[in-house]
Chains A and B, each alone.
Chain A
Amino acid sequence: MTAAADRDTSGKEPSDRASGAVVPMVRAERVRKSFGHQVALRDVSLTVAPGEVTCLIGPSGSGKTTFLRCVNHLERISGGRLAVDGELVGYREHGGRIHELRPREIARKRREIGMVFQRFNLFPHLTALENITEAPVRVRGERRADAVRHAEELLARVGLADRAGAYPAQLSGGQQQRVAIARALAMRPKLMLFDEPTSALDPELVGEVLEIMRQLADEGMTMLVVTHELGFARQAADTVVFMDAGMVVETGPPATLLTAPAHERTRAFLARVL
């Protein structure tokens, strides 16, 4: 099963698709974000092509997570343009002006973007299976039987077929994060965002989560991953983006960026973490 075959195509065709050119899955142009006086993102520009895996690396406070949260509009950008699959995030361009979207429209757009959080954020009052079926049933209006079948497939895929009835508190951190990945996949997203998915895990549990993510990358899922796991970036990423102080310092394939970085700041960061 590939992510592309799974993808929901019922949405509106973006206008620039008609031109025949490949629409980037994520296109950020000079994205700015500030919290009050504190500037978190300064003119961040990057693109993620469909099927590509991009890893965002950099010291803490560099704006990686903030940028990721902007992509599904958990944070509202302060300036620039940010588009997912050819459509602006949180806004609509009409008559040369930018209009805010209604909460319902933003919610609809978010269905296509899966997100995995650092602290899993599973719903503690629901079992693993219920966590996965909740959104397909309530948001997409899938029939419960179909949603349960799909959820069981996904649980099997992340190696937790036997834990369907467990509550999150009864699962290890690694298992919780794998359920969280299955929950995001249940919405059949076009794009998956990972916000430091292994940072809250005990070291011996990191591998099982990265393994699932590698599988997902191999199946052609478009992924934007904020991570400190440079090993994962080296193996699975098509592009690595190094951010520092709210700016993109350097972008390149992992082989180049992680071994022969062009910038002094990248070199300094890599020297500290490797």
Chain B
Amino acid sequence: MSPTEGVSPDATVPAVASGETGAIETGAIETGAIETGAIETGAIGGSDMEAVPLRHPGRWVAAAVVLVLAAMAAHSLATNPNYQWGTVGDYLFAAPVLRGLWATVYLTAIAMAIGIAGGVLLAIMRMSANPVVAGAAWVYVWFFRGTPLLVQLLFWSFVGALYPRLSLGIPFGPSFVSGDANHVVPLFAAAVLGLGLNEAAYMAEIVRAGINAVDIGQSEAAAALGMTRALTLRRVVLPQAMRTIIPPTGNETISMLKTTSLVSVISYDELLNAARLIYARNYQTVPLLIVAALWYLALTSVLTAGQYQLERRYARGLAPGHARPRRTEAAR
């Protein structure tokens, strides 16, 4: 057999074989085709064949273009006086900015807690055998995903205009406690409710997709052992669903961190609003926006690292090469 004859079968046969198995294994996952594409090139590139390597002039051109653009950006950042890096440094650790930063972290944590708890509840409701309960969950998701978050936030801040008095009591009957709406729903509550209830709608879809991804055989095995539905959900289904739920939830948390900046429209004092209050006084708009951006970047970097650790923890018991958790979220 001549060398040239040997090349094509050796290189293509494994690639075709891996492509086939990939398509079968990841049949339900849309990214399957893309992944196997990467494997194919890897298999060919990784061969020990003694051949004159193929030249890739296009890669050099692309790298050169990117490097020139990066150099231009760096030069501009360093030399354009309008960035005022000195002012950025002055305000990076200023007390109002740090207070706003703390408020952002706090708001993100509470809104996500509400979102996750609400999402799990809605997902379970959605799968209920009771059509009224399942329908209510569907309507909730439809409403909160179907209207802009900004509108919802404004709505919560003006809830006093809609219901001047809020009371707790028997439906259509006497009330036990009642109070002024603006008192019962202060600015902080409006921000948290707006963000959290909206997030619950998205989390519901993520949790539901995660639960549906767990093989029905798992619930059957649990049922055959005499486990109740609640116990099965808690001990068997949810821990496995977590693997599919964690990565998009990490994305949601990172997204929430930045979305909290929207509550500046209802004048809640978080990071962006803190920056805005300062530049409204001293007109140093660009440096203060950079201060805010740097802090958002720092926080999202920390969250990304945390997400990586969580994913590793929930991948327990999985052999290497097992289907990886989906990175794309079905909900959006």
Contacts and interface: CB of A to CB of B under 8 A. Distances in A.
Contacts of B227: 107, 135, 138-139
B221 interface: yes
Interface stretch (A13-21, A110-118, A151-159): A110-118
Interface in B311-330: 316-319, 322
A169 interface: yes
B260 interface: no
A117 B225 contact: no
A180 B236 CA distance: 15
A139 B218 contact: no
B316 to A, nearest CB: 6
Interface residues of B, number: 23
Contacts of A111: 225-226
Interface in A164-213: 167-170, 180, 183-184, 187, 193
B242 to A, nearest CB: 9
Contacts of A244: none
A11 B310 CA distance: 44
B316 A117 contact: no
Q: Which of B218, B228, B235, B317 has the most CB of A within 10 A?
A: B317
Contacts, number: 78
A167 B316 contact: yes
B157 interface: no
Interface in B140-187: none
B152 to A, nearest CB: 37
B317 A110 contact: no
A232 interface: no
Question: What are the 3 A-B residue pairs with the smallest beta carbon separation, nearest first?
Answer: A111-B226, A121-B221, A167-B317
A72 interface: yes
Given A134-B225, A167-B317, 6 more contacts: A104-B228, A107-B228, A117-B224, A124-B317, A125-B316, A138-B231
Interface in B215-239: 215, 217-218, 220-229, 231, 235-236, 239
B236 A123 contact: yes
B36 interface: no
Interface of A: 72, 74, 103-104, 107-111, 113-115, 117, 119, 121-127, 134-135, 138-140, 167-170, 180, 183-184, 187, 193
B224 A123 contact: no
B223 A74 contact: yes
Contacts of A167: 316-318
B240 interface: yes
A223 to B, nearest CB: 15
Contacts of A123: 218, 221-222, 236, 240
A115 B318 contact: no
Given A117-B217, A121-B220, A123-B236, A169 B226 contact: no
Q: Which of B215, B226, B318, B322 has the most CB of A within 10 A?
A: B226
21 contacts: A72-B224, A103-B228, A107-B227, A110-B224, A111-B226, A117-B217, A117-B224, A121-B218, A121-B220, A121-B221, A123-B221, A124-B240, A125-B239, A125-B240, A127-B317, A134-B225, A138-B231, A139-B227, A140-B226, A169-B318, A180-B221
A123 B318 CA distance: 11
Contacts of B225: 110-111, 134-135, 139, 183-184, 187
A180 B222 CA distance: 12
